Amino acid sequence: MNKYIQNLRFLICSISAAILLLSCEKVIDLKLDNEKPIIVIEATVSNINENHLVRISKTIPFEQKTSFNGVKGAQVTLKSSAGTSVSFTEISDGVYRSPQLRGTPGLTYTLDVLSEGKIYSAKSTMPNPVNLDSVGFKTISFFGNSNIYPMVYYTDPPKVQNQYRNILKINGKLQGDIVFEDRFNDGNAVSDVIIYDGDDDLKPGDIVEVEMQSIDRNVFKYFFALSQIGGNGGPPVAPSNPETNFNNGALGIFNACAKSTKSVVLK
């Protein structure tokens, strides 16, 4: 449901473009100031028995070729409120891996990163898992374009505030990363269309993989704020850095989540 409100600007712009046939987009040359590099920490820990990854990098100037500017030699430690503690090992520049472990829903995890003499710390509480019942498909037409979109079916736990993140991959390639919450459908059997912003259209034979994460409120607000800048929550908001759960001026997010993944082939 949120998607339709989310796409209001898209709708309005399409309509104005259609009646006016006039709005134009063009690429322009902008001289942007560049701030000194700032550390970015992207960390996930889940309830799946796997190696969890932490990516540490630094911001790069706008004009530079987009790349992962990994930060070497950091010390990464994960603690849980149950008292366990593990260290991550650097496996390549800026990428740190934990041993295989399974996170426990309900526990609060703390991630500490020591890099270049500063400690950056974040807390995230892993929510209870919500299972994806199945993945289906739906065809929707917007202004003459008919597209197939994946649909997720799940049951939202009643009387609990739930936040979700759907990561959509088509044929192994990332096509969508969308967050939503249960404000309007708490406790219901939900069937929701994923209107993704990736470029690839779904066609028969494609393998669709949906990873539905249950995320905590701070992580949800972070990703939601990020999507608002692009106009996903309605008309675009003034851009600013989303509120992170890391301290000390780090960018990025620490996400302790419960995952449920389903993979289907579009017939």
Number of neighbours of residue 133 by Cβ within 10 angstroms:
15
- CB under 8 A: which stretch of 15-23, 76-84, 106-114, 123-131 binds another protein? 15-23
Q: 180-191 burial, b for 16+ CB within 10 Å, e for fewer? A: bbbeebeeeebe
Cβ proximity to another protein, 80 vs 196, nearer residue: 196
- CB under 8 A: which stretch of 63-71, 76-84, 115-123, 203-211 binds another protein? 63-71
- For another protein, the binding residue among 99, 184, 207, 248 (CB under 8 A) is 184
- Give residues 222-251 in contact with another protein (rule: CB under 8 A): 222, 224-226, 228-230, 233-243, 251
Judged by CB under 8 A, does residue 30 bind another protein? Answer: yes
3-state class (DSSP) for residue 226: helix
d(CA 14, CA 9): 8
Phi-psi region of 116 (alpha: psi -120 to 50; beta: other; left: phi over 0): left
Judged by CB under 8 A, does residue 38 bind another protein? Answer: yes
Total count of residues recorded for the chain: 267
- For another protein, the binding residue among 50, 112, 133, 186 (CB under 8 A) is 186
Q: By CB under 8 A, how many residues form the interface with another protein?
A: 86
Judged by CB under 8 A, does residue 11 bind another protein? Answer: yes
- Residue 54 CB burial class (10 angstroms; 0-12, 13-18, ≥19): buried
Cβ proximity to another protein, 81 vs 185, nearer residue: 185
3-state class (DSSP) for residue 260: strand
Judged by CB under 8 A, does residue 171 bind another protein? Answer: no
Structure tokens belonging to residue 239: 């851009």
- CB under 8 A: which stretch of 66-74, 79-87, 127-135, 204-212 binds another protein? 66-74
